[in-house]
Structure 1
């Protein structure tokens, strides 16, 4: 190997890394958004979670929805890519992918994972927004906008339109 080039393993070890999560935007026939209330952290969230090693984000979103809600939902179009810088106890940036889960036509099929969830609810968009933690809340409006415009939204730093 030339002295100009690093060993690939050494080079990759110098690159920044990020945590990856994926979620789904699901609504019901009344256009209410589905949120879940985890029992292991404050606030509500979208169904989803951390993407496993070697797992594609859309597969992670489908797996997490199946685990959390007991329903099989196909990940539709990518709605939001949300980058959040490292902060507090989280030593790396977080990249979240939100996919369109569509409309759940039979909400009675939902079987919440009681080991992780205290509550699952379809809520009006305006009611859902204040229940989400500040770093997650921008995904709600961005997901709705992306779904309506049929075009993904990029959220750098979590605040739409701020660039950071």
Structure 2
């Protein structure tokens, strides 16, 4: 039997990126999205998970950085495993957390170098503003919040796939 040194074994494992996002709604159920300066589309508030950072901590950090406020990061709503796409050479695991309700966007600080805009949108309009592979997370997050059970997606599709 051939023994592989742990360092070599770990170096040969698949690697992927991780991101954390906040699912925030207003009392009417509209979804909060941000418009990054560096993308053509809108997004859930959030960003990449740093090395040695837990996804829920990354979500809290991103909210502080993007809005200048602290919000409680609640239940995990959605995990979406997305394959490599376009210029992104690795898969990404996206964690979406329930970050509750906000009445409005008044008082949110938007860092000019990172965000152009923020707003609440009805479900259909929000889905149209999100990338096609990300849009399914919105309905999955809403279902998960309502049912108190997280949803697992693969590339934006339900798993296991519907028959």
- In the TM superposition, 1:2-151 aligns within 5 A as 4-105=2-103, 107-151=105-149
State the Cα distance separating 1:74 from its structure 2 match.
1.4
Shift of 1:127: 1.4
Aligned residues: 162
* 1:162 Cα deviation from its structure 2 partner: 6.5
Deviation (angstroms), 1:94? 0.5
Match of 1:152 in 2: 150
Q: 1:162 to 1:134 in 2, by over 3 A?
A: farther
TM-score normalised by length of structure 2 = 0.94
* CA offset digits 1:94-123 (Å, max 9, x no partner): 100000000124632311121111110011
TM-score by length of 1: 0.93
Find the aligned partners of 1:38 and 1:157 in 2 and give their Cα distance. 22
Any idea what SS the aligned residue of 1:31 has?
Answer: coil
Question: RMSD value over aligned CA atoms?
Answer: 1.6
* Residue deviations 1:7-28 (CA, integer Å, cap 9, x gap): 1000001100100000010011
Q: Deviations over 1:1-51 (max 9, x none)?
A: xx6321100000110010000001001122211000011011100000001
Aligned counterparts of 1:107 and 1:130: Cα–Cα separation in 2: 20
| Structure 1 spans left out of the alignment, 5+ residues | none
Deviation beyond 4 Å, 4+ runs, structure 1: none
